[in-house]
Structure 1
Amino acid sequence: MPLPKIAIVGRPNVGKSSLLNSLAGSMISIVEATPGVTRDRISILLEYEDIYFELVDTGGYGIFDSRELSSDINSQIERAVKEADLVVFLVDIREGLTPSDEQIARLLRKNGSNVLLAANKADDAGMFSRAVEFMRLGFGEAVCVSAANNLNKSYLLEKISEKVADIPSEKPEEAFMKIAVVGKRNAGKSSFVNSVLGEERMIVSEVEGTTRDAVDVRFLKDGQPMTLIDTAGVRKKGKMADSIEYYSYTRAEKSIRRADVVLFLIDAVLPSSQVDKKLARMVTDYMKPCIFVINKWDKILEEGYDAEPEDFSDYLTETFPGLRYAPIAFTTATEGRNISSTLDLAKELFKQSTMELPTSKVNEAMEIIKAQRTGKSDKGVFPKIYYATQVAVQPISLLVFVNRPDLFDENYQRFMLNRLRDLLPVSEVPIKLMFRQHHSERRQMGREKKIKNRRE
């Protein structure tokens, strides 16, 4: 069932993102005292008094953007207004009524929007009287709030709930899977998200760094609710121009940490960079299932590059050895090519990463590993595996009982992981190995220590 949709609209820097963060109780949108930080439509699900609704943060209407994205930003806002069941029209009580406020009011009246007027930055009750002048906008008395101080937050939520109370609403299903879309700047992440949704939710431009926030978008795939997280394009830390880009960088890292599966977008015609390698390290460190999505594949075909899909497999294995098990998809996001099959592959990786393996199958694999490799000895003592059991999922985590954990060096562990992927139905996802000394070995070491002590 569709939820009531509430759009927060206002001129630049009136505190729309701060208000969304305040109502959400966490920092969803980047907040910065720079007009135009929010460009795409950021949305979250909220509940108040058993009424569920989607709250949408938009960019500042009428902003002049230094990267010539102003018309795209305004287009996103106009689309949000048309789709909204209620518009929270936010104004700045400190600055008072401005021509930009009046311009937005005309847009809302033209659209016939259901409007709730809110005056932000009313940091104490003594400022509330200033809101009288906003009645000239024609939307009644403004609700005075302070997003920074959470003043009148509950009252605003109450007024929103009253305005949408007649619209059917029920608790939405939890997302079956969260998919983070990551990559360096201008790799096609927003085009990918728009293609999945079948609408221009994200601003798409050849200008690098168009997306700044990490944007969660819910959608249905084969009747199952999923969440796509479109992240800002990452650049090298030394080249970050301002704190906004730094927030975007940390947001991308957080998105990887939150995700069940990561879609790692690679521009088909550009060589990998240090940024790509850093993102790959993040994915590896957090042990997330990952798909290399080679985007803009149409350019390879159209421009006559001498490259085949198998060439990319060798190249990615060499460049990102820590993700050699990750599958590869080839897409043209702007045309919607292979988007659905990439999502199907993400579902398969999610299935693998949440699989509970029978202990018997795990130990059959361990027996094969023992037979194929003995490992290096330490004073005549070789690595010995007793048995293993799965203790967790996401990532698949195996606890291996052995004679001495220190004998299982990096090379032996790498061999074990490669063989486990061959032998178990988890070939394309991370596997975490943990080693513990078997109790019989501990008893034997204890006896040997006692004998040694007596001799001394």
Structure 2
Amino acid sequence: MGKPIVAIVGRPNVGKSTLFNKISGKRIAIVEDRPGVTRDRIYIETEWLSHQFHLIDTGGIEPKSKEIIPAQMKRQAELAIETADVIIFLLDGREGLTANDREIASMLRKSGKPLLLVLNKVDNRESSPFYYDFFELGLGEPVEISSAMGLNIGNLLDEMVALFPKVEEQDYDEDVVKVAVIGKPNVGKSSLINKILGEDRVIVSEIAGTTRDAIDTPFTHGDDRYVLIDTAGIRRKSKVYDNIERYSVIRSVTAVERADVCLLVIDAMEGVTEQDKKIAGYSHEAGKALVIVINKWDLVEKDTKTMNTFIKDVRNELSYCYYAPILFISALTGQRTNKIIETVKAVANQNAMRLKTGVLNEIIGEAVLLNQPPSDKGKKLKIYYCTQGGVKPPTFILFINDKKLAHFSYIRYLTNKIRENFGFEGSPIRFILKEKAKGD
């Protein structure tokens, strides 16, 4: 199962963002920014006592407001509630219960999601003077905290992780390739899923997945077995949700984590958007094999240069995913959709490919002879040997004399040399640098 998702919800000015920042602290799982990777700032991946989870910060909910921005914030919060495994309902312990609090509580009860009722701004060791008033919401015993001062945050997190779902992930044989269809709303993900399944005609079953109602659909193609991972809401047509691109990223997170291969669907009429970059970034950082699928290609007016120009634009906008093959299709007409599973199989094999140490070091040795390692203040980078430490993604351990001398441009050069000789199409490549101790 993917990491649990926790949403912080409540009316404006109860301290949601302060709590969000306090929980994230310095425990954010992703600690480095790779060039070109854009992250969505309304959520973070963090952990508490070895429990990793995603935390969503929502805008303040004003249930009865008809103004555009509050109404949009309400819809965003509704989607976060639908997506979440656990909800932190944050209230102001100094101000007491309000009509808006009661409206939000009614919304949360209907969701049926595990929930913690949390009173914020209790900045001393005494209880809120309104403590017992909150029992009328029927949402259990309140947890009192101070986000600003960090009081009782540990107890809150202990109670939160106790509510995480205990559902075990559906087990599949190692030869089953798990494929996640990802992308922002209205790019044709559902049509593509139906086209893939409709052409193969061998749907084994539909298995209820995580508590977010993800659907795993096993199918076969020739002698090969696959599972399509369809995240919650991917087939839903409601404009209330599909118009909120900001949260479409959250829908992709769990699917990416569970997948072997990600199909990133991009609307040919729009080109690569900021949201596409964010979603592609998840696949890249998770080390998944990636295929970029340009859908609705039948709607584009073309000349002899159109496709090459589009490819150039995609490579420029998604420069960190330069290894991903690009397919131009129409899920509506079926144009080139027969190439998708064939490409999925190829990149899945590349992502799981393991090289022999001897052959790998021959290539590294040749690369060093062609382009000498960098030096700094008379000290030169020495590469002793290289071995493959893992697959999915292919990960190589490079034993060197000094990490400080290993400039990223030279590591990129070695990466490209490995690609030239072995391919790894569709797969990111990772290097782990280890200093060889003196005397080894």
Q: TM class, shorter-chain normalised?
A: 0.5 to 0.7
- Kindly indicate whether residue 422 of structure 2 is the aligned counterpart of residue 443 of structure 1: no
Matches within 5 A, 1:202-213: none
Deviations 1:34-61 (A, max 9, x none): xxxxxxxxxxxxxxxxxxxxxxxxxxxx
Matches within 5 A, 1:278-427: 278-300=278-300, 303-304=301-302, 307-427=305-425
Query: Structure 1: how far apart are the matches of 2:366 and 2:323?
Result: 20
Give the AA of the match of 2:422.
L
CA distance in 1 between partners of 2:347 and 2:439 (Å): 41
Tell me how far apart the structure 1 counterparts of residues 369 and 343 of structure 2 sit (CA, whole Å): 33
The 10-residue stretch of structure 1 (317-326 or 424-433) with the greater mean CA deviation from structure 2: 424-433
Cα displacement (A) at 1:175: 6.4
| SS of structure 1 residue aligned to 2:185 | coil
What residue is the counterpart of 2:426 in the other structure? Answer: 428
- 271 and 245 in structure 1: CA distance in 2 versus 1, 3 angstrom threshold: closer
Superposition deviation, residue 404 in structure 1: 1.2
Alignment map for 1:4-153 (pairs within 5 Å):
none
- Residue 211 of structure 2 corresponds to residue 226 of structure 1: no
Distance in structure 2 (CA, Å) of the matches to 1:270 and 1:433: 35
Kept after mapping to 1: 8 A contact 2:184/2:249: no
CA distance in 1, matches of 2:344, 2:382: 36
Q: Which residue of 1 aligns with 2:38?
A: none
Q: Cα deviations across residues 157-201 of structure 1 (Å, max 9, x unaligned)?
A: xxxxxxxxxxxxxx98676100111111111100000001118x9
Residue 82 (structure 2) aligns with: none
Number of residues of Structure 1 aligned to a counterpart in Structure 2: 264
**Per residue, is there more helix in 1 or in 2?**
1
> Quick check: 1:388–1:399 contact (8 Å CA) kept in 2?
yes
Summarize deviations over 1:391-450 as a string: whole Å, max 9, x none.
Answer: 1110111111111122112111111111211122324311110111224xx239xxxxxx
| Structure 2 counterparts to residues 115-194 of structure 1, below 5 A | 176-194=176-194
Cα deviation for residue 223 of structure 1 reads: 2.8
The equivalent of 1:58 in structure 2 is none
Query: Counterpart amino acid of 1:349?
Result: V
Are residues 338 and 214 of structure 1, via their aligned partners in 2, closer, same or farther at CA, if it must alter by over 3 Å?
farther
Relative to structure 1, the CA distance from residue 390 to residue 304 in structure 2 (aligned partners, 3 Å threshold; closer, same or farther) is closer
Q: Give the match's secondary structure for 1:287.
A: coil
Amino acid at match of 1:395: P
Q: Distance in 2 between matches of 1:218 and 1:245?
A: 28
Deviation at 1:218, TM superposition (A): 1.4
Deviation at 1:322, TM superposition (A): 0.4
How much has 1:340 moved relative to structure 2?
Answer: 2.4
Deviation at 1:248, TM superposition (A): 5.8
Question: Which string of whole-angstrom CA distances, capped at 9 and with x for unpartnered residues, describes residues 283-328 of structure 1?
Answer: 111111111101111112xx44675322222111110110011111
Kindly tell me: are residues 246 and 276 of structure 1, through their superposed partners in 2, closer, same or farther at Cα, counting changes over 3 Å?
closer
* Inter-partner Cα distance in structure 2 for 1:313 and 1:286: 24
User: CA deviation digits over 1:29-87, x for unaligned, max 9?
Assistant: x9xxxxxxxxxxxxxxxxxxxxxxxxxxxxxxxxxxxxxxxxxxxxxxxxxxxxxxxxx
- 1:74-106 per-position Cα deviation (integer Å, ceiling 9, x unaligned): xxxxxxxxxxxxxxxxxxxxxxxxxxxxxxxxx
Please, which runs of 5 or more residues in structure 2 have no aligned partner? 8-162, 164-170, 202-211
Q: Secondary structure at the match of 2:389?
A: strand
Query: Closer, same or farther in 2 for the Cα pair 1:288/1:367, shift >3 Å?
Result: same
1:395 aligned counterpart, secondary structure: coil
Matches of 1:274 and 1:420, distance apart in 2: 30
CA distance in 1: counterparts of 2:360 and 2:303, whole angstroms? 44
Whether the 8 Å contact between 1:176 and 1:224 is mirrored in structure 2 is yes
Where does structure 1 differ by over 3 angstroms across 4 or more consecutive aligned residues? 171-175, 212-215, 231-234, 239-242, 244-249, 303-307
How much has 1:373 moved relative to structure 2? 2.0
Q: Is the 8 A contact 2:289 2:348 kept in 1?
A: yes
- In 2: Cα distance, 1:368 partner to 1:213 partner: 51
Cα 1:174–1:375 shift into 2, 3 Å: closer
Displacement, 1:349?
0.6
Task: Provide the C-alpha distance between the structure 2 equivalents of 1:351 and 1:331, rounded to a whole number of angstroms.
Answer: 23
Paired position in structure 1 for 2:99: none
1:389 alignment partner AA: T
**Which residue does the alignment assign to 1:449?**
none
What is the alpha-carbon distance in structure 2 between the residues aligned to residue 191 and residue 224 of structure 1?
22
- When residues 373 and 427 of structure 1 are mapped into structure 2, their CA distance, relative to the original with a 3 A threshold, is farther
Q: TM-score, normalized by length of structure 2?
A: 0.54
Q: Is the 1:232–1:252 Cα contact (8 Å) retained in structure 2?
A: no
CA distance in 2, matches of 1:427, 1:415: 16
CA contact (8 A) 2:367 2:414 kept: yes
Asked whether the 8 Å contact 1:214–1:230 carries over to 2, the reply is yes
CA RMSD of aligned residues (A): 3.7
Q: Supply the distance in 1 between the matched residues of 2:191 and 2:405 (Cα, whole angstroms).
A: 49
Tell which structure's C-alpha radius of gyration is larger: 1
Matched residues in 2 for 1:364 and 1:233: separation?
Answer: 49
Change (3 A) 1:407 1:263: same
Is the Cα–Cα contact under 8 Å of residues 184 and 248 in structure 2 kept in the other structure?
Answer: no
Q: Residues 191, 307 of structure 1: CA spacing in aligned structure 2 closer, same or farther, 3 A cutoff?
A: farther
Q: Secondary structure at the match of 1:334?
A: coil
In structure 1, give the amino acid aligned to 2:311. S
- Partner AA of 1:443 in structure 2: G
- Per-residue displacement from partner, 1:106-149 (whole Å, max 9, x unpaired)? xxxxxxxxxxxxxxxxxxxxxxxxxxxxxxxxxxxxxxxxxxx9
Q: What letter matches 1:396 in structure 2?
A: P
Whether the 8 Å contact between 2:215 and 2:230 is mirrored in structure 1 is: yes
